[in-house]
Structure 1
Amino acid sequence: MGVKHNPKRDRHIDAARAAGSRFGAETLPPEILFGGASNDDLDRYTPEMLALTAAHARGELARWDGGKPQVSVETVAGVAPGGIEVSIIAITERNMPFLYDSVMGEVTSTHRDIHLAIHPILVMESGKPVKLFDPDEESAPEHRVSHIQIHLSRLTPLEARSLSKRISDVLEQVHQAVHDWPAMTALLDQAMRELEDYNASRKKSDRDEALAFLRWLRDSNFTFLGMREYTYSGKGGRATVERGKGRGLGILSNPDVRVLRQGKDAVLTTPEILAFLEGPDFLIVTKANVKSVVHRRAHMDYIGIKRFDASGNVVGELRIVGLFTSTAYTRQASEIPLLRHKIEKIVDHFGYDPQSHSGKTLANTLEAYPRDDLFQIDVGLLAAFCEQINELGDRPRVRVLPRIDHFDRFVSVIVFVPREQYDSDVREKIGDYLKTVYDGRVSAYYPAFPEGGLARVHFIIGRSGGKTPRVPQAKLEEAVRAIVTRWIDRFNLLARKEGTEISVGEAYQAAFTPAEAYADLGDIAACTAGDPIRISFYHRHQERPDTLELKIFHADTPVSLSRRVPLLENLGFRVISEQTYDIGVHVHGDEPREVVLHDMELIHRDGHTLNLARIGPALEEAFLAAWNGTTEDDNFNRLVLLAGLTAREITVLRAYARYLRQAGITYSQGYIADTLNKYPTIAADIFRLFSTRMDPTTEVKARTKKCNALLAGIEEALSAVPSLDEDRILRRYVNAVQSTLRTNYFQKDAEGRPRA
């Protein structure tokens, strides 16, 4: 039969042959090596590079002794497709099943930058030229040799050694599986004969179905990778499972390989296996804890078969691991033993006429059900899930169907969402939610798009230890519904009675939830040309008590950094970061307008803890007072955070500083402010001394008592001030307050509010 010729590939091969002749290299004939190569790969190689690759292949074949597999990872000078140096992985081995896909699976598990991959099967007989294997030509199997070359971007020596070791380990497992294949099928035949001899009495139909399933496996529908016999003895709490006397077969010939896990530990058996051995079923079909490195990278299928003695007592288990072949997924479920039995029970449970709409819907649901899950799920749960899936045909909606593995190793979650709301971002967010709520990881996901308006994603959430959280289905569906529902739709649902609509970009939607936007709606709607600004301090990072966030909403135009940052610095903050968002606003009855949101992350300049519940209102008042010019924008405003004073209270201390300057004190206004900020407790007590002395509502006797207590406290605090200049400033404040005879601070306007 040979390789089908391709004109473009033939030109590459002819050029490589000519290049090899020019520099006299002994090469494996290029038509043998590159006859099955991809033109896309060959296009990146010059004829000289292909000739050097063929010469390397000839050298590898010459070095191989015909015994154990030969694995090398080398860099060949001059082979640099597209100017990129490559490492050539070369494997030479007796031809056998699963070689190429197993090696490629190991390589691609850690490397994606493959420049060339070739796998000719050769016929090598002593004294004869190497030729390409042709199934139409007679050749002895012992003369058939696989030569695999994979070119990767250049590896470090450590990477090369690691990859070579991993490939050798994979080849060892391939050898074990292929070599022991006849022994594994013979052992399966023995287990089937034992099952046939078992007097099933009332369980005859279950036994016959189990036998039919095993024959179906035997009939090229399962890739057997490993088998091991286990003995079972005792009952209940005294039951034990031990490894049988015979050696394991295939990959289970290694006694250290265990395919079950309890928590993070590999184990010989689990409570669920013991329950199976003590229960009525003849077989258990589930997933192993480990992935196959032979043939394809997937969690291996696990099949346990009960073993019986002559008296019909359970004496052990034949444990089989491997992979269902493609027919298990492409053949109709109703034609596969075990599955057909399960389907019959579901059909009987519902009792629909097969020709009715409901009957056909149920049949489609069962046929489209994820096949791996169909093997593992029990009939009761499957019936409940089928009923819920069938309902989706009449009314599409979010549906989440979780099934926790019997061994607590994974959770299978089938998620249905409206197709127009599904994309890769939604799938990733759903996976992130599921791995969080089940305390695990997304091991796999399988999207599908059945007929109708729904998309389906089957998630496998792997777990490493502990009992799997039991999460109510309603909670799962509520969370997924929130993920797939568009941000603006969720916002509009909250704001439907407010009479205000907003339009925002994706960046805003990523930063704020609809609930957060709804909470800000009052501030957003209030920003108008005549009253342009609203602010809101909030705390996003509870674990960082020295930080706050600030939202500045401003009508129509952004606020420059030169306007915002100095004001915040005078309040005692440093600005860490900021994001700006444009928000379109339409209040019903008004013209649409724009509001600009500046979202800023702030940190206290001295690292102090910020109690937003206590200081929030005073902080907002101080910001807006400085913004609107009703109070000065200077370092005195740091006393809001440091001393807990309001902007109006700080005005009193600022006024005294001006008075002291007029009275001849030599210190600058800034130095005076810095002194008060350095001793905020004294500053707060100085204001309280002023307030207590001058408050007209306080009785004289009580006023005197409170003032004396404050003065005593201030004097004690002053004794700890080391700087003479700072001590002098603070004492001048106390003197000025004590010398004050009258103030308009307590005057009120016509509405009873303090005057500004």
Structure 2
Amino acid sequence: MSGDVFGNGLLLSDQIKLVAAFNHMHIFIDPNPDPQASFAERKRLFELPRSGWMDYQSSLISKGGGVFERSAKSITLTPEIQALTGLSQTRITPTELISALLKSEIDLLWNGGIGTYVKASTETHADVGDKTNDALRVDGNELRCKVVGEGGNLGMTQLGRMEFARNGGRLNTDFIDNAGGVDCSDHEVNIKILLNGLVAAGDLTLKQRNQLLLEMTDEVAGLVLKNNYRQVQAITLAERRSLKAMAEYQRFINKLESEGKLNRKLEFIPTEDQLEERRVSGLGLTRPELSVLVSYSKADLKAELLKTDVPDDAYLARELVTAFPNKMVKIYNEPLKQHKLCREIVATQIANEIVNLMGVNFVDRLVTTTGTDTSTVVRAYVLVRDAFDLPNLWKQIEFLDYEVDAQIQLEMMERLQYLVRHAARWFVRNRRGGIDCASETEYFADSIRSISLTLGNLLCGEPRTEWEDAYQRYTNAGVPSELAKVVAGSGVLFTALGIIEVTREHEVPLTRAAQAFFSLGERLELHWFAGQLNDLHVDSYWQALARDSFRDDLEWQQRALTATVLQVDAEASDVALDAWIALNKTHLERWDKVLSDLKLAKTQDYAMYTVAVRELFDLARTCKSS
């Protein structure tokens, strides 16, 4: 139990079965440990002023185990050690035993010490640069553990991680797994900058400062754990869509590289040819590679935000308080606003949140596909986040840890990401003059909530069936009903923005506008049409742009068509729609023919949808309301 990283890690649960460990002096092996008894003994050793594995009570070690000196010439293997390691020899050197232990079939390989113990099969020991451990080091494709956790730095080479990941292993990187220490230091520095200033000004005594730091310890720890929990969550979400979004990731990597922000060779990011080979083979990026992109994405976005007025925007600058404990915010709210690193902290908080919740290239993709700038996309994100109550929804999904299947949670998060991407794009496209987060949130939030909670009643036809199926599946899995209602409808909920715009422009009740919007969409089969657009295969950046453009046009045309239905002189939405259909019979027959041709087509291509979207535009332009 020597070393605080290893020791602390092994005291996080009394369910851990520590079957083997080694340090510079000893090899500890307990082939079939008693979890509670061994936990208590590890705790006893950890609390001693100094301890080593030789202090471990031998009576607590299971049959066939023991503590062995690394300086011994050889070690006799018991049947239990042979079973653990898969070795058939009866005597081997300590170094050979450590290598075998590293390759043993276990759940978790936990590194809490110094040294590089795993490389890639394509690397030489000289490439690693850790001569001390050359004799015992193994290759990534030799590991048989399920997961690697890196409490210490440089326990594996990056290529070794990638090789293990390609073999089905689960891991991140050292700088992700042990980021808590750096994060904690950042919080400490930011807190002390403010408190030291108050002490210097005579507004706080040193004794009061130290007491306050002590009182905030647990809350700071909570902030750090939340940051790291979400960072790993971001990697998992990125991994799930890695293959599908390969073209987007490639473009993002090339952008960082061309701007001199990423050294591809230094970070072992695959070449374009290698990435293309993976895509063709049905393989995406590995978690270690995505870990690098997450880190670079956050750093790049923060740097870009500091060039803008985002950190100075009164609404966005409220993110400052999210970096500090509530106790400190409550007592020193006004001094916090004058923090020496205020702009940097705001930019950091926004960048971290966007990358954690929306992925590495969310901002870059919207900037590229809409022609807007970073500050506009960030404002659109914050507006959508607040108007759609994203933090509350996301947190509710996280609270379901260990209560529902993790795959259900991740799917729900992906649905919310889809909602935010489309809603943010809507604001970028529809607020060309600038985005005022405060006023827009105030205007949209209540109406969005009203639609989201009644969506099941407003939808009809295929969208209603899809909503019911998703809602039922989520509630059956244990998701609370209210949360399931909103998430089940997130695929169409962004259309609430257009509906709300129609109510403002034509002064009609929200429910009537929503009913007209969805009923019209069902008659024109626009939900089916939108699904076809979403399913278009994207092989290039230009095809991605074209698909986004199609979806923008579809939303605009459906909104325009809804406005003409609402102009029909009728009290009820269904009566108005029937009258509108009768007035535009000829135009609708042409649209129906387009849909029929699309459904009969053996292959789908972009030219077909270019024509179809144009036909829909003509329908919106020429239809009559009286």
Fold conserved between structures, TM > 0.5: no
* Structure with a larger share of its residues in helix: 2
TM (normalized to structure 2)? 0.33
* Structure with a larger share of its residues in strand: 1
